[in-house]
A and B are shown apart, each in its own frame.
Chain A
């Protein structure tokens, strides 16, 4: 186990290095560098741009810039944002909580609802409920989040006035109930698709398990259906879900761009897009490395958990 972990970590470091190099290269080779947008600002001359590029060291060869960035990263210095000159980790940190709040709420709703719908669908396969759930899942998966979010705002905020039209809290209020009130619409919209995904996976997984020999054995033993489901079927059906959950970790921290945009939620998804469109390369690179770490950690955790839960899997 220890050797396995060490090996994985070694692999991950190499992967991270590759990811950072490719990310850096692609970013800097894209047309229009970090200063391109400023060429259009009133009063900015080409001379100003050239001077600033030189002050910022952007006129140096790419490998030199990369090496400087990478060595600093290894020392724990992630650089500073071009936009607000704050340290990159500080910038990421300032958006992380908003994202976590939204994503965790949505994920909890999605897992509970998704698992329940999936299980019910599987044990009453082809029933009215199952068909309804299947159709519902298809619809949820095909509705564009952007549109759905706007419709939600239109109905519940503009027409009925029940929910706030986005934002994380009322500026100046910020009580617990205020946060909760603002959280309802975006978390449900975000959960909608997730519920669909989780219910489909769960249904398939249960169906897979429920036809296996040990379930038949349990039935033959005369165990109550409820106990078979909870003790035997669910336990085994949840194993693939762990992998799914592991893959969700980076998504959790990466934020949901569309939902965050529609509900003006100051999360990581927005931060990434804003940084990209402002050509704020230190932050873009920071998020890239951060997400890469999360993907690797998520995968590693999922693998470890699977090994713990499922004795058939051995990590060597």
Chain B
């Protein structure tokens, strides 16, 4: 399910994902740790007494969906975090932070039963909707029921569909039962925003409700104005239950072109460059700007070469291993990606609590690659390309056509692999074709693709690695490499049904070892993105677990 697959089918607008796909996102080799605010500005200032000033958040995509439960794209979630509240938020360190609840339910505090089936939530009693109505447990119940309403065009339903018998015990307490234990559910709830029952229950059709364009939430900012195609203004909500807000208003400004966005950041019209940030080729210029703070921020996406293991040539794990040895990863990162991304061996971002830092480190060693192929019986033919049992070591590599950075990386790999007797042909396709059936139904041979494998902050990657998720074999997921490993299947099942995080961590550590060994995906790097803020903006906290780094604008303020 989670796919933050980089690259989509949009025609011209580079989405954040497409940007990733283009390899335009950058990042630095050194990242100081996500939980600190941006360097050199955290100490001095104190927040103002009453909300003061404004922040203009520049987005290169337009948020348009304001019922947070409906089908939407990533950019919309930047607005949700400020307008609505989830039960808890994903923190920058990977832990969940209570928002509408008084504590995160766990097995230890009795919030979740030991078998993971019974949940009990305790809610804050001082929370108000923007219209002044008190928030209660009824709203939480209504929200989950609305998601499961067959007539409602809910976006994600995973996890919610397992919830049964929601009981409102008191206005601040509710319980429910899960159909089966599902460990990623807390992570899913961290991006499930609670909607007001008292407004939506009066609507005949929640899909076209007036609420969808005049939302009422419990977040730090309330709805003020939307000018379609231009901007959205939110104003401080003085009765907010959490920290802040310290800004009088925040404005989400839609600036469709990244060069223009950067120009407006330069002129000071934009205080923060959201979603796609600043393109890496402008990183040097951006760093030299006076009064601006610019920094690479890690992303949850990993750039890979996906090998279709359903093909004879990739059935042999030795071939994948040899190709990985023959890949000059460091040069790709340095020469093509401005040295910004972080080399990785895992499918998880290194900020994840489940990240395994002890995986075998990649080594660029063409001799070793040749040796492995020799030993596995792949013999060079008359033209130097290896063969085994009539199968030539020749395959195509595909990605989004017109993505110049990736095309360069492809040509680089082509050379790398030719040196060890493997022939790679480049065959790129327009986005809608590439990431449609061609990808989903495993019609590619190899693909260059950036993917976010986890479900938000959760490491569950069932959708990409489980043998039942192979679309080409009738499955319902996105296991497009047709990777079939009983070992991984068992680990995924165990990881999804275990509630104890320490135990889960072991399970996923093991799973990362297996995927590193089997290499259905040859991992290249974890993406980073260059983001910029105006100097003086306090409490900007990049967070790999959310879609937009304006997730905590309630804490933002200007140093005076």
Contact = CB atoms under 8 A, between A and B. Distances in A.
Q: Do A and B bind each other?
A: yes
Interface of A: 30-32, 36-48, 51-52, 55-56, 80-81, 83-86, 91, 94-95, 98, 150, 153-154, 157-158, 161, 164-168, 171, 261-264, 266-267, 270-271, 273-274, 276-279
A94 to B, nearest CB: 4
A264 B8 contact: no
Q: Which 5 A-B pairs have the closest CB atoms?
A: A266-B229, A32-B432, A266-B230, A277-B10, A45-B1
B352 interface: no
Interface in B212-233: 212-213, 227-231, 233
Given A45-B157, A83-B65, A271-B229, 18 more contacts: A31-B432, A32-B431, A32-B432, A38-B71, A38-B155, A39-B3, A41-B4, A43-B155, A43-B156, A48-B1, A52-B153, A84-B64, A153-B260, A158-B263, A267-B229, A274-B62, A276-B12, A277-B11
A273 B432 contact: no
B275 to A, nearest CB: 13
Contacts of B9: 31-32, 36-37, 279
Contact of B263 (A48, A84, A150): A150
Interface in B61-108: 62, 64-66, 70-74
A40 B8 contact: yes
Contact of A45 (B231, B264, B476): B476
A118 B256 CA distance: 36
Interface of B: 1-13, 15, 17, 56, 62, 64-66, 70-74, 150-151, 153-158, 188, 191, 207-208, 212-213, 227-231, 233, 251, 253-257, 259-260, 263-264, 266-267, 269, 430-433, 435-436, 440, 452, 455-456, 463, 471, 476-478, 547
B227 A266 contact: yes
A150 B430 CA distance: 28
Given A55-B153, A171-B231, A43 B436 contact: no
Given A32-B436, A46-B476, A46-B477, A37 B10 contact: yes
A46 B478 contact: yes
Contacts of B188: 43
B269 A164 contact: yes
A43 B65 contact: no
Given A42-B456, A43-B156, A267-B229, A166 B260 contact: yes
A45 B263 contact: no
Given A42-B3, A261-B260, A84 B212 contact: yes
Given A83-B64, A261-B256, A277-B10, A40 B435 contact: yes
A146 to B, nearest CB: 8
Contact of B12 (A85, A171, A273, A279): A273
Nearest to B151: A55
B484 to A, nearest CB: 18
28 contacts: A31-B430, A32-B436, A36-B9, A37-B10, A40-B3, A42-B547, A43-B456, A44-B1, A44-B3, A45-B1, A47-B476, A48-B1, A52-B71, A80-B208, A84-B212, A84-B213, A85-B208, A94-B227, A94-B229, A164-B269, A165-B260, A166-B260, A264-B260, A270-B256, A273-B11, A273-B13, A274-B62, A277-B11
Contact of B251 (A38, A157, A171): A171
A40 B7 contact: yes
Nearest to B451: A40
A165 B463 contact: no
Contacts of B6: 40
Nearest to B208: A85
Contacts of B2: 42-44
B74 A36 contact: no
A171 B260 CA distance: 18
Contacts of A85: 65, 70, 207-208, 212-213
- From A37, A47, A86, name the one whose CB has the most chain B CB atoms within 10 angstroms: A37
- From B231, B263, B476, name the one whose CB has the most chain A CB atoms within 10 angstroms: B263
B208 A266 contact: no
- From B56, B73, B150, B440, name the one whose CB has the most chain A CB atoms within 10 angstroms: B73
A76 B489 CA distance: 54
A160 to B, nearest CB: 11
Q: Which secondary structure dominates chain B's binding surface?
A: loop
Contact of B229 (A43, A86, A98, A278): A98
Contacts of B151: 55
Nearest to A263: B260
A26 to B, nearest CB: 13
Nearest to B158: A45
B73 A37 contact: yes
A55 B207 CA distance: 11
A259 to B, nearest CB: 11
Contacts of B17: 40
Nearest to B266: A158
A44 B230 CA distance: 28
Nearest to A262: B260
A48 B15 CA distance: 21
A52 B70 CA distance: 10
A94 B228 contact: yes
Contact of A264 (B157, B256, B436): B256
Contacts of B433: 31-32
A44 B71 CA distance: 9
Nearest to A49: B71
Contact of A42 (B74, B154, B260, B264): B74
Contact of A36 (B8, B156, B257): B8
B455 A42 contact: yes
Nearest to A270: B229
Contacts of B266: 158
A85 B208 CA distance: 6
Contacts of B263: 150, 153-154, 157-158, 165-166
Contacts of B15: 37
A48 B156 contact: yes
A52 B151 CA distance: 9
Contacts of B257: 261-262, 264
A293 to B, nearest CB: 21
Contact of B10 (A31, A44, A278): A278
Contact of A167 (B65, B154, B228, B269): B269
B155 A48 contact: yes
- From A38, A40, A273, A274, name the one whose CB has the most chain B CB atoms within 10 angstroms: A40
Contacts of B212: 84-85
Contacts of B10: 37, 277-278
B435 A45 contact: no
- From A52, A150, A264, A267, name the one whose CB has the most chain B CB atoms within 10 angstroms: A264
A52 to B, nearest CB: 6
A95 B229 contact: yes
A204 B233 CA distance: 50
Contacts of A164: 269
Contacts of A276: 11-12
Contacts of A264: 230, 253-257, 260, 264
B543 to A, nearest CB: 14
Given A150-B263, A164-B269, A86 B213 contact: yes
A83 B63 CA distance: 9
Contacts of B547: 42
Given A52-B71, A83-B64, A157-B263, A45 B156 contact: yes
Nearest to B430: A31
- From A39, A43, A51, A95, name the one whose CB has the most chain B CB atoms within 10 angstroms: A43
Contacts of A266: 227-230, 254
A83 B204 CA distance: 20
Contacts of A153: 260, 263
A56 B253 CA distance: 30
A285 B14 CA distance: 23
Given A32-B435, A264-B256, A84 B228 contact: yes
A161 B266 CA distance: 11
